Amino acid sequence: MTGPTGGTYDEFSLFEENATEAGLPWTGPPVVRREATDVGEGRVVSALVWGSTPARMVFLHGGGQNAHTWDTVALALDRPLVAVDLPGHGHSDWPGDRRALDPGAMADDVATVVDRLAPDAEMVVGMSLGGMTAIALAARHPALVKRLALVDITPGVNHDKSSDIQAFLAGPESFASFDEILERTIAFNPTRSESSLRRGVLHNAVQREDGSWTWRHQLGRPARSTGLHVDPLEFGSLWDDLEHIGAPVLLVRGKLSPVVDDADEAEFRRRRPVDGVITVDGAGHSIQGDRPVELAAILARFLPGS
C-alpha cells in the first residue's frame, strides 16, 4: 500500500514516532511479528506478537479499531504480549454478517488465537467491543483469562452513551483522499494529537487502485450491502457473565468519556465488590490513545507480582 506522501506503508515502521510522542526512550525497533491463526470456516484471525518470550498479556481493541491501537501502551509496558485484530477488523477475516459484533462468537475465535499464541497469559485487556468480547471469553473459556482489565466499557453501554462512536462508524465508506479520511477522524477525536491520528488511519485504512481510501474494518458495511441490521449494543446480558467471572477484574474509566457513567461504575462495584475501578484524568473513551503511558502503568500494577 502506498502511503499518503508516497512510498510504501510498513506497519512496523512507525513505532519510533509512537515512542517519541509519548516521551518514551527509544533504543531501537521492538521485536514484533504478525501471526495469522486459522479459526475454522476458511477464516483467519490476525494478531501482533510483541517479544520473543511467552506472552504475559493479551489485548483486544474496540470496534472500528485494530491491534495497532495498543502500540504505545505496548512500548511503555516493554513486556511480551499479543494484540489481536478482532474478526472483521485489521487483517482478520470478516466472520459473516450474523456473527458480526457478537461477543460470544468473537470470544470463541479469540480463544483459538490465545490458546495458540498466549496460553499462559496472566491478563486479558479489553477496550470497548474488545472488553465485551473479553467478558464473554472469561465466561466461555475461563482458563484463558487469569485477570481481566476492562478499558472504558461495561455491559451498561447503550446507543446514547456511544452516540459519537456510532456516528463516526456510520460515516462514508469511501474517501477521495487520505487527507479527507484523516480530517473526519480528527473531527471525531478532539482529545488526540493529529500525528497520533495520522498513524492510526495509516494502520486502519487502505488505498484502493483508483486512489480512494477505505477502512480496513467492515463495521457498517453489512447494513449498507444487505439491509441486515446488526445491533452492537445489546450487551446487558453480559452483566451476569461479568459478575460470575472467577478471576480478578479491573475497570479503568476515562474521565472525559460518556461511555461508562457513574451508574455503570456503581453497578460494577455492586457485582464485583472486591474489585477496583480507576479513573484516568484527561482521557476519553480511547484511554490507550489519550493517556497510553498512564494506562500502561495501571496495567503493569495489575499484573501478578507487581
| Residue from 71, 93, 152, 290 carrying the catalytic annotation | 152
What are the cell numbers at 191?
482529545
Contact between 80 and 52 (Cβ < 8 Å): yes
**Sign of the dihedral through C-alpha 293, 298, 161, 261:** negative
What are the cell numbers at 43?
477464516
Q: What is the 3-state secondary structure (H, E, C) of 267-282?
A: HHHHHCCCCEEEEECC
What are the cell numbers at 251?
475497570
Contact between 62 and 130 (Cβ < 8 Å): yes
| Residue from 46, 128, 196, 257 carrying the catalytic annotation | 128
Catalytic, 152? Answer: yes
* Distance set, CA 127 to CA 71, 135, 213, 221 (Å): 14, 11, 26, 22
Catalytic, 285? Answer: yes
Q: CA-CA distance, 240 to 196, in Å (whole number)?
A: 37
| Residue from 61, 162, 285, 290 carrying the catalytic annotation | 285
**47-69-9-118 Cα dihedral, nearest 10 degrees:** -20
Catalytic, 128? Answer: yes
Contact between 206 and 213 (Cβ < 8 Å): yes
Catalytic residue numbers read 128, 152, 285
